[in-house]
Amino acid sequence: MLRETELLESFSVADLYAWAVGLPDLPQQLDQGSTFGEPPLTLYWGKRFVVDAYTWFSSTTSIHQHAFTGAFGVLEGGSVHTTYGFVEEERINSRLQRGRLDVREVEFLRRGSVRAIRARREFIHSLFHLEHPSVSVVVRTQRDDEYNPQYSYLHPGISFDPFFMDRVNGRSDEILRALARVDPERYADVVADLVGGSDLATAFFMVLNAHRALLEHRQLFAQVQDRALSVHGKRLEPFVAALDRQVRDRHLTLLRKKITDPELRLFIALLLNVPTGDRILALLGARFPGTPAGRKATELTGALLEEASLGFSLDPLQMELFELALQKLPFERMLDEIKRSYDDDDVERARPTLTRFLSDLSKQPIVAPLFA
């Protein structure tokens, strides 16, 4: 319906908002308390299907699957859309699994783009919204219990039910979150004690919640994590690795909230979603065909590092060296290439500085995917 009727080209997001506020009563809303969308809006409610519109100004969807079928289309803005495959290697229980999460496809969606939604693991995806606002229209069935739980995913390979702890513990989890805000140290002590007496799955969910609650108190979180590792040992290590990746991703998502330049936002999306430097360069080349991909990546890296205030300000020599490093050339070969543009003696004098520069920069979590 979305593609065949050209519905997405027939009105704007302003038309949508004006129509909604002009109604005597809105249609029944799918989920009044939902935070999925800024805001979410149900345009039509039926027994068999609903039509929703989701506006996004700064948020990015998690990697997730669906407990319904249908389709979504872009009404306004654009997104980087990534689809994944998950191979289960260990089933802890029905709410938590360990395995391998692989990127299948990364594509750019624009106004009028339509994609089918399939239930369960046939369609695992995420959307990184590039423009303010980005608006999607979703035509979908009502949720089917047969397709639950609606898993979320963490790199490098964790599948979990994001609503499990809220359903099981309810008010207790709310109290714990309140304690984290009132007294983070006491919260860390309480959760560490709880983790010490928990099974592996419960320990993971508690550590995951602590990870989110103690974002500004990493030493306190380390106490909780260490307690969990002391009880569950190597079985918990893959889950800890997933949380370490979340820390890296958080730096990028925080940058995204303050950056409005569309090219930089796209670059952040690729760093978050594309696992290797070669694939990032290929996507940049497709997006900006008039500029060599390595040069574009270097320009965007320099701009991103300045926005991140990490103490890096790339001069022309460093920019050229970085572009060569993206080709994964040996260091001596890079210096030979640079000597074509710079005096040999100047390059040799700068050798120790350039060596440290490359080493320090490649260790920066926000650009690490370029060297993968």
Q: Which pLDDT value is given to residue 358?
A: 86
Q: Which pLDDT value is given to residue 189?
A: 94
Q: Which pLDDT value is given to residue 55?
A: 87
CA distances from 355 to 81, 114, 322 (A): 36, 47, 11
Q: Per-block average pLDDT, block size 10, for the chain (372 residues)?
A: 70 86 85 70 88 81 91 90 96 94 93 93 92 87 86 94 68 86 94 91 91 89 93 90 84 80 89 90 93 94 82 82 91 91 89 89 83 82
Cα 74 → chain centroid: 19
Largest CA distance in the chain: 77
Distance CA 369, CA 275 (A): 6
- Map out the domains of the chain as residue ranges: 7-149, 166-248, 276-371
Q: Which pLDDT value is given to residue 33?
A: 62
Pick from 58, 82, 223, 24: nearest CA to 130: 58
Q: Which pLDDT value is given to residue 38?
A: 73
Distance CA 69, CA 318 (A): 49
Q: Which pLDDT value is given to residue 262?
A: 84
Distance CA 102, CA 86 (A): 6
In this structure, how many other beta carbons lie within 10 angstroms of the beta carbon of residue 333?
11
Q: Which pLDDT value is given to residue 16?
A: 85
Topology of the domain comprising 7-149: Jelly Rolls (2.60.120)
Q: Which pLDDT value is given to residue 169?
A: 60
Q: Which pLDDT value is given to residue 313?
A: 76
Are 74 and 111 within 8 A, CB to CB?
yes
In this structure, how many other beta carbons lie within 10 angstroms of the beta carbon of residue 213?
22
Q: Which pLDDT value is given to residue 97?
A: 96
